[in-house]
Amino acid sequence: MSEEVTAPHKKSARPRRGEELELRITALAQGGRGIARTPEGFVVFIGGGLPGDVVRARVGKAKRSYAEASLIELVEPSPERIPDTCIHGGEPCPGAAWQGLPYERQLEHKAEQVADALVRLGGFDAAEIETKSEPIVEAVEQWRYRNKLEYSFGAPTAQDAPALGFHARGRWDEVVDVDDCKLASEANNAARNAVREWAAAEAVPAFDTASGAGVLKNLIVREGRRTGQIQTRLVTTEAEIPRPPVDLHTIVAAQSSGTDGPTGALGAEYLSERLGDLDLRVSPTAFLQTNTETAERLYAVAREYGALGQGERLFDLYCGIGTIGLSMAADAGEVWGIESVPEAIVDAEANADLNGITNAHFHAADARLGIRPLIEEAGKPDVVVIDPPRAGLSAKIVRRVLECEAERIVYVSCNPTTMAPNARQMVEAGYTLTRVRPVDMFPQTPHIECVALLERQGG
């Protein structure tokens, strides 16, 4: 669990930039970095270290109350560590920073981080949060759960094919080839490997940031887990490239002209997926929860907290392709969704049709600007669901949400550190935080999703 970083220490105790330290990691901070203390008690955050590890680390930034350091060597691994499962080029997968922790410990740390954020960043009472916290929901699968992965192209490997994989930790100029990433399905891995083989066979070069030469920048592989569909999206400097294998349904997004929109769809333009009872289509630029199977558990918690009654009105803010609102539509009188990506709204409307849902309406709008007109059009809602990106809501958007005067606000968050101050603002305006439940959407990583219920006092 994260701990106070403002412990008193002598000014001279601050480590210098570039200094190498051997430290024992004692805890995990919000965001997943290890926390260690120098013998003088100065707090140092170290990426990649787990509690119990003794590491050698080089100091980067050194602030007044804490320093940041990068791990150079694992001197003595924590006795709790388990062997890495996902390894690329001899290094642990950068997308699975917590894979050395047994799954049970990951869950404990995540539950603690949600509670800790509410207490320290939201100003809630620790005992109150303990009583309101419900047990963390486990992921359906601990590995091979991601329905989407983004890869980078890099300088050719020995086989003369461009490297296609992930950037090595802290090295933006170097791409480590990935053969089998255990966060993705076998089908996703096969698609990536097929794109690499195609690039080698057709001699399409990787883009080189230093010289500005080359063509291939990134590859995004998305998978309909329930439909078996695979979609690959190539981000390139040119639209005119040799045709990738037809079965990969490749979309080419060329960025050379200053636009990053898809310039040529060689396969289906959207992917089909099934989530809960819903058949869904999702456009390449629209958001879809990256863990399809566990998203069903997340939405079940949101639905339970929303507790919509027939005849009640729901606002689904940050609705993406409409998944949360549509999954609650049968319980509700009306559903109204707002989302800033227009393609996602086209998908949301199509998804309502696809599932025979007639009481859901969607508008492409920025949440900040769209809430007041929606109240004018639809009337005030009984329940508001908010599911913002990691940055959470600005204080102004919280004020707009409060103007809805909903009986219940269901806050779905992928970042408890931004949810906590938003929840505080809602409590100051007359809501009570009544329930909170973490959901592990991202095993092997420090990321944590959670759902909180805020109820209007006297409501």
Q: Candidates 13-21, 115-123, 284-292, 451-459: pick the segment binding ligand SAM (CB under 6 A).
A: 284-292
Q: Candidates 85-93, 255-263, 319-327, 442-450: pick the segment binding ligand SAM (CB under 6 A).
A: 319-327
> Edge to edge, what strands does the sheet with 216-223 contain?
171-177, 162-168, 148-156, 216-223, 230-236, 250-254, 264-265
Q: List the interface residues with ligand SAM, window 109-128 (CB under 6 A).
A: none
Position among 70, 142, 263, 340 found at the interface with ligand SAM (CB under 6 A): 340
| Best CA proximity match to 284, nearest among 206, 238, 207, 218 | 218
Q: Candidates 25-33, 79-87, 248-256, 312-320: pick the segment binding ligand SAM (CB under 6 A).
A: 312-320
Q: Is 344 in the site for ligand SAM (CB under 6 A)?
A: yes
- Tell the smallest beta-carbon distance from residue 210 to ligand SAM (Å): 33
Q: Is 373 in the site for ligand SAM (CB under 6 A)?
A: no
- Tell the smallest beta-carbon distance from residue 171 to ligand SAM (Å): 29
Q: Is 216 in the site for ligand SAM (CB under 6 A)?
A: no
Task: Tell me the number of residues near ligand SAM by CB under 6 A.
Answer: 19
Q: Is 223 in the site for ligand SAM (CB under 6 A)?
A: no
- Tell the smallest beta-carbon distance from residue 230 to ligand SAM (Å): 20
- Tell the smallest beta-carbon distance from residue 80 to ligand SAM (Å): 32
| Best CA proximity match to 112, nearest among 3, 194, 200, 260 | 3
How far apart CA 341 and CA 369 sit, in angstroms, is 14
- Tell the smallest beta-carbon distance from residue 319 to ligand SAM (Å): 5
Q: Is 283 in the site for ligand SAM (CB under 6 A)?
A: no
Q: List the interface residues with ligand SAM, window 404-433 (CB under 6 A).
A: 414
Indicate if 93 belongs to the active site. Answer: no
- Dihedral sign for Cα atoms in the order 235, 240, 246, 251: positive
Q: Is 319 in the site for ligand SAM (CB under 6 A)?
A: yes
List C-alpha distances in Å: 46 to 27, 63, 72, 73, 191: 10, 14, 10, 11, 34
Q: Is 367 in the site for ligand SAM (CB under 6 A)?
A: yes
Position among 389, 394, 428, 430 found at the interface with ligand SAM (CB under 6 A): 389
| Best CA proximity match to 175, nearest among 146, 142, 199 | 199
Which of 192/233 has CB closer to ligand SAM? 233
Judge contact between 175 and 152, C-beta under 8 A: yes
Which H helix or E strand runs over 188? helix 186-201
- Tell the smallest beta-carbon distance from residue 367 to ligand SAM (Å): 4
Q: Is 387 in the site for ligand SAM (CB under 6 A)?
A: yes
Position among 341, 346, 375, 427 found at the interface with ligand SAM (CB under 6 A): 341
Position among 2, 250, 323, 327 found at the interface with ligand SAM (CB under 6 A): 323
Residue 79 burial by CB count (10 A; 0-12/13-18/19+): exposed, middle or buried?
exposed
How far apart CA 273 and CA 321 sit, in angstroms, is 12
Pairing of strands 54-62, 216-223: unpaired
List C-alpha distances in Å: 178 to 188, 313, 433: 12, 47, 44
How far apart CA 341 and CA 330 sit, in angstroms, is 25
Q: List the interface residues with ligand SAM, window 25-54 (CB under 6 A).
A: none
Q: What are the φ/ψ torsions at residue 218 (nearest 5 degrees)?
A: -135, 160
Report the interface residues with ligand SAM, using CB under 6 A.
Answer: 287-289, 318-320, 323-324, 338-341, 344, 366-367, 387-389, 414
| Catalytic residue ranges | 414
